[in-house]
Structure 1
Amino acid sequence: MMNKEELISKWLNNDLNDQELEVFKNLEDYDDLVKLNNGLQAFKAENYDTSKELETVLKTIKSKKQHQSHWFKPFMRIAAILAICFSLYYYTTTLDTTIHTEFAQKTTIELPDASNVSLNAKSSLVFNKNSWKKERDVKLEGEAFFKVAKGSTFNVITKSGTVTVYGTQFNVKQRENYFEVICYEGLVGVTYLSQETKLKPGDSFLIIDGKTIAKEKDYHSTPSWLNNESFFKSLPYKEVIAEFERQYDVDITLLNIDPSQLFTGSFAHNNIDVALKAITLPLHVTYSKTKKTIILKRE
C-alpha cells in the first residue's frame, strides 16, 4: 500500500490513477493540502516549479516516525515560509517602472509625487514607486524635461552625471559623448566627475566629448523640442544629425562634410522635407532621400 508521502508526491505531479485518487481524497489532510497548494500558486514566480519545491519539502519531513497531526504542523510552517519567499520574490522583481520611447516618439509621465516628465525620442526613464517616499530618484538615458513637485531632494541619475533639484523645471540631455542640463526655474545642482555646479534659471551645463562648453543664458521658458522643434546654437553638426535621426527614424550619411563644424538653426519634427532643407541650406549642402536612408553631400 502506498504511504501518504508517496500519494502526495504523485498528486502534485498529476500522476494518480483512479484508485489512488480515491485513497488520496480520503486522507485526513486532504482539504488542507488542496487549500495550501492553491494558495501557493498565487505566490509562485513565472518560472518557479511549485510542485517540485513542495515535493522537496515533503522529503525533508520524517513522517514515518511522527503522528499525522505532528507531521502536518512542520509541513505547514515550511510551506508558509515558502509562501513568504515567493511573495518577496514577486515584490522585489516588480519594484522598478521603466518608460521607453522609440524613434519619432515622445511621451509624458506623472511620477508618484505628481512631478511631470516629458520624454524625448529614443529615451528611457526608470524609477521605483515603492521607495519613492524615501528616495525620489530617476534614472535617465536620453533627454527629458522635468517639472518637479515641491518636496524632498529629487535626483536625476545619468551615465554622465547626476542632477539634484528642489522644486524646479529643467531639461537633461544625456547622449553619446554629450551631457547637457538647462535650468528653467528654481535651482539645479549638477554633479559631474565628483564636482557640483549650481545652475540658476537660464544657466546651462554642457559637456561634449569630455570638454566643458560655455553657453549663453537661455531665456526660453521650456525646451524647443516640447513644441516639436529642435534648436541648436553653435553646436557640432553631428549632434544635429543625431537628433534628426531620432526624430524621423532615418539613417543619415555625410559625404565631404565635417561633422564637427558648428551649426546654428532649427528643424521641425512634423515635416521631413522642410526639416531637411532647414539643416542643409545654411551649409550649402545637397541631399538625396530613399525611404529611411538619407545622404547629405557637399560638392
Structure 2
Amino acid sequence: MKREELISKWLDNNLNHQELEAFKKLEDYDDLVTLNHRLRAFKNDEYNTSKELERVLSKIKSKKTASKLWMKPLLRIAAILAICCALYYYTTTLDTTIQTEFAQKTTIELPDASTVSLNAKTFLAYNKKSWKNKRTIELNGEAFFKVAKGSTFNVITKAGNVTVYGTQFNVKQRDHYFEVICYEGVVGVTFNSTLSKLKAGDSFLIIDGKLIAKEKEE
C-alpha cells in the first residue's frame, strides 16, 4: 500500500493490524502522530486539516532535501575513496592467467625460472607482482611442474592443495578427479585438511571425493 493511502486510512481510523505496522515504519511517523495530537486538541471549525497536513509534510520534505544537499559532498568523497581502494586492490592482486583450449598444450616459465607444462583444457593463474614473496598458483586442469628451489611453492585446486620446495611433479584436477604424482623431491598434498607427503615415485589419487590410491609409481 502506498504511503498516502496509509496516512489517509490512519486519519480515518481504518487501518488493520498489518497496515498499522506498516504505517509505524514510515520515516515521518513521529511527525504525523504529533500533528494528529495537535489537530485533536485544536477543535476549531475553521481549522483546515488538509492544509495543516500538507504544511507539515512539506516541512518534512524540505528537511530531507536540505539533508541530501549536505550529504552530497560527503558522498562524492566516499565514492572517490571507494574507487581509489578498488584500483589499489585491482593492481596489487592482478593475476596473470593462461588458458589452453581443446587439443592445445603449452609450457610457460614463471618469474623464478620454474616451468609449467599445461595439458589441454587447463586454466592457470598466478600473481606476478607478489610472486617473490608468495609462490602460489591456481590450477584447474592438468599441468606438470618443474619447480626452482626457493620459498614454498603452492598449487591451489578445487579438490586439494599441493605444497613443495624444489621438485618435479604433476597435478591433474578435473571434475570429481584429483591426482598428484611426485617425480623428484617431496610433495605435500592437502586434502580435506589432511596432509600427505609424497616422495619421488609416489602418487595420490582422489575420485569422487574418496582416496583411491597413495602408492609408489612403477
Same fold (TM over 0.5): yes
> What does 1:215-294 align with in structure 2 at a 5 Å threshold?
216-219=215-218
1:202 equivalent to 2:201? Answer: yes
Q: Aligned residues: percent identity?
A: 79
In 1, are the aligned partners of 2:153 and 2:165 still within 8 Å (CA)? yes
TM-score (norm 1): 0.44
Residue deviations 1:133-169 (CA, integer Å, cap 9, x gap): 1110000000000000000000000000000001000
Aligned pair count reads 141
1:161 equivalent to 2:160? Answer: yes
TM-score (norm 2): 0.59
User: Runs in 1 of length 4+ with deviation above 6 angstroms?
Assistant: none
Determine the C-alpha separation between the residues in 2 that align with 1:159 and 1:87.
26
Determine the C-alpha separation between the residues in 2 that align with 1:97 and 1:171.
21
Determine the C-alpha separation between the residues in 2 that align with 1:111 and 1:87.
27
Determine the C-alpha separation between the residues in 1 that align with 2:145 and 2:161.
14
1:120 equivalent to 2:112? Answer: no
1:147 equivalent to 2:156? Answer: no
Give the 3 Å change call, closer, same or farther, for CA 86–203 of structure 1 in structure 2.
Answer: closer
Counterpart of 1:109 in structure 2 is 108
Q: Determine which structure has more spread, i.e. the larger CA radius of gyration.
A: 2
Determine the C-alpha separation between the residues in 1 that align with 2:158 and 2:86.
33
CA RMSD of aligned residues (A): 2.4
What code does the residue aligned with 2:103 have? Answer: A
In 1, are the aligned partners of 2:204 and 2:215 still within 8 Å (CA)? no
Give the 3 Å change call, closer, same or farther, for CA 85–116 of structure 1 in structure 2.
Answer: same
SS in 1 for 2:84: helix
Counterpart of 1:129 in structure 2 is 128
In structure 2, list runs of 5 or more residues that go unmatched.
1-71
Determine the C-alpha separation between the residues in 1 that align with 2:125 and 2:162.
15
Counterpart of 2:181 in structure 1 is 182
Residue deviations 1:112-144 (CA, integer Å, cap 9, x gap): 111000000000100001111111000000000
Residue deviations 1:37-66 (CA, integer Å, cap 9, x gap): xxxxxxxxxxxxxxxxxxxxxx96xxxxxx
Determine the C-alpha separation between the residues in 2 that align with 1:85 and 1:124.
30
SS in 1 for 2:181: strand
Determine the C-alpha separation between the residues in 2 that align with 1:91 and 1:101.
24
How far residue 91 of structure 1 moved from its aligned partner, in angstroms, is: 5.3
SS in 2 for 1:85: helix
Determine the C-alpha separation between the residues in 2 that align with 1:165 and 1:179.
17
What code does the residue aligned with 1:136 have? Answer: R
SS in 1 for 2:145: strand
Counterpart of 2:97 in structure 1 is 98
Determine the C-alpha separation between the residues in 2 that align with 1:95 and 1:211.
34
